[in-house]
Structure 1
Amino acid sequence: MSTHLETGRIGEAEACRFVKEIGYKILEVNWRYKHLEVDIIAMDNDILVFMEVKTRKSTRYGLPFEAVNYHKQQKLNRAANLYISYKKHQGDIRFDIISIISDQKNGLTVEHIRDAFWPE
């Protein structure tokens, strides 16, 4: 398996652990519809939260959350709209990012960015 894929799997496992630890109820992990994917879909009390998980081994090329650019945000929005329609969700939603740095020296660093963006 490619190193970056393994890094991603480690990050997603850590993100799931973290999300459960802060009291969210995970509904879906790696929810897919055709070419769209949401890493984690969870409930934070009565708010439906769509989470993107980004993991890097270092900050050499920037912080992980910086990789959630406009294009990625739009894809997440499209996926969220499909999920909401499919599940007939009525209520508040939010987009969060779980940004993880996994380096050998310092271990895992997790940053949770609530309300990270709002699609146009």
Structure 2
Amino acid sequence: MAAHNELGILGEQLAIDFLIKKGFEIRERNWRFQKAEVDIIAQRGSLLAIVEVKTRSTRFFGDPQEFIKEQKIKLLTKAVDHYVVDQDLDVEVRFDVIGIVKNHFETSIIHLEDAFYHF
């Protein structure tokens, strides 16, 4: 497996551990709908957090969360609409981004709640 794939898998696990510590239950990991893949779907009470995880080994090109494009946001929104209806959920939906920088010198986690409002 390529090093960047391994880093991405590690980043997602770090994000899951982080969310569990914040009291979330992980409903789905790498859930797919049509062309969209949702990294993590987590729930705490009546809050459904749709979490996009971006992991990088360096901040040289910017923070990881800065790499989410408008097209990805549209795909996620469509997928989550389907998920909520399909699962017959009565929840508040929030889109979060967890940006992780992981290398030999640091492991940092940035959690942006309602992240799409920050773009």
* TM-score (norm: length of structure 2): 0.92
Q: Is there any run of 5+ residues in structure 1 with no aligned partner, and where?
A: none
Q: Secondary structure at the match of 1:88?
A: coil
After the TM superposition, which parts of structure 1 deviate over 6 Å for at least 4 consecutive aligned residues?
A: none
- Letter of the 1:115 partner, please give it: D
Deviations 1:7-45 (A, max 9, x none): 100100101110101111111111112321111101122
Deviations 1:54-91 (A, max 9, x none): 00000111110001121111111111111112111223
Q: Is there any run of 5+ residues in structure 2 with no aligned partner, and where?
A: none
What percent of counterpart residues are identical? 36
In the TM superposition, what is the alpha-carbon distance from 1:51 to its structure 2 partner? 0.5
The residue number in structure 1 matching 2:65 is 65
Is residue 2:100 matched to residue 1:105? no
Deviations 1:73-115 (A, max 9, x none): 1111111111112111223110001110011112x10111111
The residue number in structure 1 matching 2:116 is 117
Instruction: State how far apart, in whole Å, the 2-side matches of 1:99 and 1:14 are.
Output: 10
Q: CA RMSD in A?
A: 1.1
The residue number in structure 1 matching 2:13 is 13
Q: Secondary structure at the match of 1:66?
A: helix
The residue number in structure 1 matching 2:34 is 34
The residue number in structure 2 matching 1:81 is 81
Instruction: State how far apart, in whole Å, the 2-side matches of 1:46 and 1:32 are.
Output: 22
* TM-score (norm: length of structure 1): 0.92
The residue number in structure 1 matching 2:92 is 92
